Structures are given as C-alpha cells and as structure tokens.
Structure 1
Amino acid sequence: MRLLAIAWLSMVCAAAHADQAITRSPARTAAEADLVDIRTLVPDIAEDIKYAGHDNFVGVPVDGYLAPKCLLKRPVAEALARVEHDLRAQHQRLKLWDCYRPARAVAHFVRWAHDLADTRTKAEHYPRLDKRVLLGDYIAPVSGHSRGGTVDLTMERCDARDIHCRELDMGTHFDFFDVRAHTDAADVPPAQHANRLLLRKAMEREGFKNYPLEWWHYTWADEPTPHTIYDVPVK
C-alpha cells in the first residue's frame, strides 16, 4: 500500500516539476485566489460537502469550512462542468463531496490523527486500521486539495426524466480508509468495480487523474498553480 502511494506521488511530483518548492499564497479571499463556486457554472450540481458538517471522519465541522460549497480554480471548475454536461446526456450526474480544501483544514486533520484517544469514527471510516497508521498514506500534512485542482466525488444514475438520481454502488463510502477503497481493489465485486471505472473514464476525458488509493479522488492534470496552496476559508 505504501509503495503504491509513493509511486503515485512520485508521478504527480514529476508531472508538476517538483523541483519547485510548495508555497502558501497570501490570498485572503476566494476571488484573490481565483477560486470559483462550481454552482456558478452548474447551478444544480449535486453536492454533499462532508467537511462542512459532522458526517466525516473527524466527526465535526472542519476548520475553514464556513459553508457547504465546492470551490475550485477556474479552469478546473470549467473542466468539471464539462464532465457533468457529458454525463447528463447519458442520464448520469456527478455528486461532489469535497473540492478546494483550506490549509487550515489539513492541519485540523493532522491534529485529529495525532489524538489517538479520539476513535469515535473508527467503525465507519477505518475499522481495520490502527489510527496511528493513518498519517502518511491517508492523511498528509500538505494536500493537493489546497491547490484548488482536486475533487472528491462519485456518480449518480438518473431516471429517464432526470428527476430521481441515485448514487452508484462503488463498494465503499467516501473516506473509507482501507484497501477496499483502492480504485482497482481485488476484493471489490465486478459490478462495483465497473462503476468505479465508469467514473474514472468520465473524469479522464476532461483531463482528471485518479489517485489509486481512493476511487473518489481526482486531480486535474494541468493544474493552474501546482506549487501553490491556499488557506482562504470556504464561504
């Protein structure tokens, strides 16, 4: 598992010219960071922004999430809108769980991971792991989400009138820290694996690349600011 993570991170770093250091932007607002709300492009896109509420692996609203919104760098939002447009022609849709993530939210995750006494969400999010191993493979001190080019999401299938939509069965829920959440996990039934590949194919058509340890995690390959993270609040 760790070798797979290292290989993927090496690939991403190479693609982003990792010889440049990561810097934190002085931007204080979404506008200064050129972060846009995806709903300015797709007003009715399905969202369930987990870190703005209690239904997440931390169990509380996460620092920096003052509203349940999906913010992304403008070109990334435009690419995601194209994915949604293509899917709607097939009576399918995206459902978004997380997009841009403030650096202060990542720091909140790290503090939570160090608090070994807090295991309230273990049964739902990491039933087969000791909390001490979450730092590294699953929780990093710097997240690509903070660059505004990464999204966590799933797919829905709708009826012929596009009124009633239901999430596809992907085999695990969001933020399930386990090998079964790997996109090509060997012990996932064929139908669930096919759904994961359906999502991956839809995202790859617009230049998004999957993180293989998490079937829901996609980064736009041509990130506008691959060496800059942001800490403006989501509001």
Structure 2
Amino acid sequence: MTILLADPRVRAVPVVDSGEPLVRLDAGLSPTGALVRCSLAERLARADAALPAGFRLRVLEGHRSAAAQQAIIAAYAAQLRLLHPRLGRDRAALERLTSRFVAPLEVAPHVAGAAVDLTLVDATGAELDLGTPVDATPEESDGRCFTAAEDISAAARAHRDLLGEALGGQGLVNYPTEWWHWSHGDRYWALVTGAPHALHGPIAEAAAA
C-alpha cells in the first residue's frame, strides 16, 4: 500500500539535521542550477555516471522555499475542491489527496533540500519519454504519473526502470505517485528505509554554500 506524505507516520519521524549546506548542481546535470544538500549532489553525480552511454539525468528542481511549497499546496488544493466539492468539509481527506502531488509543508522533502524532480535525456539533451511530463497531476495524467502505472508505453516503462536502477543504486527513494520525485535524507526517506531519523529538515536558500 502506498504511503503518502500526509501519513502521520511521516510526521512522526524525528529529524537530526546533518547541517549539510545546499550546493548548486553542475550545469551539465541541472541547467537551472538546482540547489540540493551536498551529499545528495554527490549521489546524483554518481547515479548520472552509472547510466548507460547516451543517457543522462536532467534535474529540473531541487530546494524549494517554504513560500513556494505553500503556494503549490494552495493551488492544487483549490483544484481538488472544484473537482470534489465535498472535500471542503473533510480537511484530512483533502490533505491526503493533495499530498499525492505536493507534500505538506512540515514534511516537504524539497524544503529540506533533500529531493529533486528529474527526468532522463539523450545525448543531445532532449527529454526522453517517461509516460507523462514532469509535474503532471494525477488528474491531468489519469494516474499515469504514478511510478508503477501500467498505461504507459514500453519505452516509458524501460526509461522509468532505468531511472529507478540508477537512483535506487545510490540510496535515493521514489515517491510512488510521482515518477520524477526522488529524495534522500528526508522524513519520507527515513520512514521507507527504516532509518532511525531524518538527516535533513527545512533549510533556507540563504544557507547555500
């Protein structure tokens, strides 16, 4: 059964912050210059190097401010309220549905600098088929954004498997409702892997090295 980020078990994971700074990823890995914790940057570099010739990781987003996270939560929750009017009366149900696409602020891996949204590109830098665009909502994609979705092409499945092998091999965990979201050291990672505590809590961008 899929554990969502709104699950109380995620909130219950203690955080013992490592104190690692945010660092900017190399332009070859992230043309946008995404910021992540330094140990995550090292793991991403190793995962990228482990890919077969002709494939590369393309990191689209890393650290996200608390304000940006809250804005995404509010926008998506508003969409869900329109689609499901009765959700307005059930805050817990709304939070669960919202967390399929965006984490509650207090446990958000991006705000901790512990997560990336990424995809695969070919030797020319063109994005490969992974079944949906990055950041496609469950509603927009009819559930094909879920990592294990069956209604995707054979090529997209192979690319998702390749992504999982490279990133999983470096200790990252995937959020199963978003094939593009991978993290290490956050509360969700700790719960899934059985670690005694998270390594990274919320961090301000001003703390970047």
TM over 0.5: yes
Counterpart of 1:97, as a letter, is: L
Q: What is the SS of the residue equivalent to 1:145?
A: coil
In structure 1, what is the Cα distance between the partners aligned to 2:147 and 2:166? 14
In structure 2, what is the Cα distance between the partners aligned to 1:85 and 1:212? 24
Which residue of 2 is the match for residue 107 of structure 1?
70
Which residue of 1 is the match for residue 204 of structure 2?
231
Out of 150, 166, 174, the residue aligned to residue 134 of structure 2 is: 174
Counterpart of 1:228, as a letter, is: G
The answer to whether the Cα contact below 8 Å between 2:120 and 2:163 also exists between their aligned partners in 1 is yes
Offset, 1:225: 5.4
Offset, 1:5: 3.7
Counterpart of 1:18, as a letter, is: A
For the pair 1:74 / 2:34, whether they are aligned, the reply is no
The answer to whether the Cα contact below 8 Å between 2:13 and 2:198 also exists between their aligned partners in 1 is no
Tell me the C-alpha RMSD between the 2 structures.
3.5
Which residue of 2 is the match for residue 63 of structure 1?
none
Could you list the per-position Cα deviations for residues 8-31 of structure 1 after superposition, in whole angstroms to 9, with x for gaps in the alignment?
A: 776x84xxx9342x69x9xxxxxx
Which residue of 2 is the match for residue 190 of structure 1?
154
For the pair 1:213 / 2:189, whether they are aligned, the reply is no
Could you list the per-position Cα deviations for residues 110-145 of structure 1 after superposition, in whole angstroms to 9, with x for gaps in the alignment?
A: 23235459x9xxxxxxxxx66976523222322111
Query: What residue ranges of structure 1 are gaps of 5+ in the alignment?
Result: 26-31, 48-67, 120-128, 159-163
The answer to whether the Cα contact below 8 Å between 1:83 and 1:202 also exists between their aligned partners in 2 is yes
Q: What is the SS of the residue equivalent to 2:204?
A: coil
Which residue of 2 is the match for residue 86 of structure 1?
50
Could you list the per-position Cα deviations for residues 88-109 of structure 1 after superposition, in whole angstroms to 9, with x for gaps in the alignment?
A: x622111111111111111111
Offset, 1:234: 9.5
Which residue of 1 is the match for residue 21 of structure 2?
34
The answer to whether the Cα contact below 8 Å between 2:25 and 2:41 also exists between their aligned partners in 1 is yes
- Report runs of 4+ in structure 1 exceeding 4 Å deviation: 114-117, 129-134, 221-225
Which residue of 2 is the match for residue 153 of structure 1?
118
In structure 1, what is the Cα distance between the partners aligned to 2:157 and 2:207? 33
Offset, 1:194: 1.1
Which residue of 2 is the match for residue 64 of structure 1?
none
Q: What is the SS of the residue equivalent to 2:137?
A: coil
Counterpart of 2:137, as a letter, is: F
For the pair 1:144 / 2:109, whether they are aligned, the reply is yes
In structure 2, what is the Cα distance between the partners aligned to 1:182 and 1:81? 25
C-alpha spacing 1:182/1:115, structure 2 compared with 1 (3 Å)? closer
Structure 1 length-normalised TM = 0.64
For the pair 1:204 / 2:168, whether they are aligned, the reply is yes
Query: What residue ranges of structure 2 are gaps of 5+ in the alignment?
Result: 88-93, 191-196
Which residue of 2 is the match for residue 4 of structure 1?
2
Counterpart of 1:150, as a letter, is: A
The answer to whether the Cα contact below 8 Å between 1:5 and 1:137 also exists between their aligned partners in 2 is no
Which residue of 1 is the match for residue 90 of structure 2?
none
Counterpart of 2:129, as a letter, is: D
Counterpart of 2:178, as a letter, is: E
Offset, 1:84: 1.9
Could you list the per-position Cα deviations for residues 34-84 of structure 1 after superposition, in whole angstroms to 9, with x for gaps in the alignment?
A: 100012xxx42243xxxxxxxxxxxxxxxxxxxx43111111111111112
The answer to whether the Cα contact below 8 Å between 2:113 and 2:200 also exists between their aligned partners in 1 is no
